[in-house]
Amino acid sequence: MREFAVPPSMIESAAARRAVGDWAGACAAARVDVDLNLRAVRRDHGSWLAAQVRGDLRQLAPDLLRWHFPRVGPEGLLRPGLTLSLARYPPTADSGDETHLVARTPPAWAQAGQRISLALWMPSRPSAGAGLHPHPRPDPRFRLDLHRHLWDVRRVGELRERSGRWPCAGGLAAARLPAGVGACAVDRWLAEATLLLRARGCGGDVVAVRLSTRHRLTLNLGSQPEVTVGVGGRGMPVLPDAATWALPDLRLLHAGLIDRDQLHPLVAAGLGHRPAGSRSPDGAGTSRLVDCRGATHRIGVVNGALVALDHDPDEIRREELLGALGGTELPCLRAIDQTHRHPDTLAEIRARLDHGDTAGALAAVEALLGPDVPLRDGALRDELETAVHRRTAHRLYRAGLAGPAPLRSTQDTRRRGPRTRPRHAADR
């Protein structure tokens, strides 16, 4: 996910537009849809609220928000059907209600493109403007209004202090965590729980910490802070996920799975690292060698098409005719055909499509095959056609029309595995 979900081209484009004050352009570069109108906000709720929202949008780094957004396995896609608060604004005489700046992700059937949308939400109008979204109310477990350092460029300096230590040695509950549950920011729980209770403005000193569907802790902030394992937790304030877990980047760095130059520049700066000049490029190389009848030959893109470079045109025509008649073609031609149907980089192209980087996926295909070659039947064509169907479903969702689940190719079904339980009673 760190490699494909937020490509370097997105980070650079969003940063360039944000630097000149074009917050809407930065959102467009990071594939974030803006479902709010500041003029309408000023007209309906007053100039103070409009000014506050505009100020936060100008400091929003949408690519950084995408970097830290809650995700689900196994591919690390954005958590679907989620509404989380980015900022909360107190009631005013004009608005008469608390207002949230929220970020939303579409439901799973419409998550093609991995897009995020920004909107305003009010408790008195919980479903206003949400369209077909299944959960328009902000989720208390996933909230970033208490963690602005994960999206606000003014607060990224807090990242090092609030990201949790890794590896986590000792701490309030390190010795009492359930078996199999790790990566917790235990050293930050007391401070983050205090911030949560203060933001709620209510009494009490007990906070629930959700580790999984089966594991829940109760954190008591009394005179002698303690953690109770495996009891209660229902109806209590829930410590947000961003405060529960250590920053994934710290864990990846410690495990040696990524280098510092693979971090988002704002994340690197927040952790005290010098930002790298540039991250690894999005594209892939096009030079390939083939063992062809005892010799090493080259295949490459020439004049917009993938061709065998070490065979003359007459030989190529004879071999293509031989293949059409059922004979065995040259290894170079077989390698070209295999690249068209099931290239070695198919997993990378699929990952880019899954994470919404359509431009990067098409650039990789063009670098591999050339821009002017029609695709042959095979796994690569199936993946691209499936991506088109998924984007159609997303457009239906954005238009407020209930659409069917996007079609999946045979390769896509095999990769994700069959459904183990019927969805509807009729299927049973």
| pLDDT tens digit sequence for 157-178 | 999 999 877 776 555 555 466 6
> Is 12 in contact with 63 (CB distance < 8 Å)?
no
Rounded Cα distance, 201 and 194, in Å: 11
Q: What's phi and psi for 208, nearest 5 deg?
A: -90, 140
Confidence of residue 325 (pLDDT cuts 50, 70, 90): confident
Are 71 and 171 members of one domain?
Answer: no
Are 13 and 139 members of one domain?
Answer: yes
Whether residue 198 lies inside any domain: the answer is yes
Are 14 and 95 members of one domain?
Answer: yes
Portion of the chain with pLDDT greater than 90, in percent: 42
Portion of the chain with pLDDT greater than 70, in percent: 84
Rounded Cα distance, 45 and 129, in Å: 15
Are 110 and 20 members of one domain?
Answer: yes
Tell me how far apart the 2 most distant CA atoms of the chain are, in Å. 88
User: Based on the structure, what is the number of domains in the chain?
Assistant: 3
**The predicted structure's pLDDT at residue 228:** 65
Whether residue 427 lies inside any domain: the answer is no
Whether residue 389 lies inside any domain: the answer is yes
Q: Residue 9: pLDDT above 60? A: yes
**The predicted structure's pLDDT at residue 170:** 52
DSSP reduced 3-state for 352: helix
- Which long-range CB contacts under 8 A does 222-229 form with residues at least 24 apart? 225/172, 225/190, 227/172, 227/173, 227/176, 229/173, 229/176, 229/177, 229/178
Domain that holds residue 191: 165-246
142-164 as b/e: b if 16+ CB within 10 A: bbbbbbbbbbbbeebeebeebbb
User: Which of the two residues, 245 and 320, has the higher pLDDT score?
Assistant: 245
**The predicted structure's pLDDT at residue 5:** 93
Are 223 and 343 members of one domain?
Answer: no
**pTM of the full predicted structure?**
0.84
Rounded Cα distance, 307 and 333, in Å: 8
Confidence of residue 216 (pLDDT cuts 50, 70, 90): confident
Confidence of residue 286 (pLDDT cuts 50, 70, 90): low
Are 137 and 169 members of one domain?
Answer: no
Cβ contacts of 411 within 8 Å, gap of 6 or more: 379, 382, 383
Average pLDDT over residues 20-39: 95
User: Which of the two residues, 102 and 183, has the higher pLDDT score?
Assistant: 102
Encoded tokens for 53: 């929202």
User: Which of the two residues, 357 and 276, has the higher pLDDT score?
Assistant: 357
- Cα–chain center distance at 141: 18
Whether residue 276 lies inside any domain: the answer is no
**The predicted structure's pLDDT at residue 79:** 96
Are 139 and 183 members of one domain?
Answer: no
Whether residue 102 lies inside any domain: the answer is yes
**The predicted structure's pLDDT at residue 400:** 87
Confidence of residue 319 (pLDDT cuts 50, 70, 90): confident
**The predicted structure's pLDDT at residue 417:** 46
Encoded tokens for 144: 């970033």
In tens, the pLDDT along 258-272 reads: 888 899 999 999 998
Average pLDDT over residues 213-239: 73
Whether residue 357 lies inside any domain: the answer is yes
What separation in angstroms does the CA of 368 have from each of 152, 269, 335, 342?
Answer: 38, 35, 12, 11
Are 323 and 391 members of one domain?
Answer: yes
> What residues form DSSP beta bridges with 292?
295
Are 30 and 102 members of one domain?
Answer: yes
In tens, the pLDDT along 349-406 reads: 999 999 999 999 999 888 888 887 788 889 999 999 999 999 999 999 998 886 545 4
Q: Mean pLDDT, the chain, as a whole number?
A: 83
Are 109 and 132 members of one domain?
Answer: yes
User: Last residue of some domain: 154, 183, 204?
Assistant: 154
Whether residue 283 lies inside any domain: the answer is no
Are 31 and 124 members of one domain?
Answer: yes
> Is 200 in contact with 239 (CB distance < 8 Å)?
no
Encoded tokens for 137: 């109310």
Whether residue 252 lies inside any domain: the answer is no
Are 60 and 31 members of one domain?
Answer: yes
**The predicted structure's pLDDT at residue 295:** 83
Confidence of residue 234 (pLDDT cuts 50, 70, 90): low
Q: Residue 420: pLDDT above 50? A: no
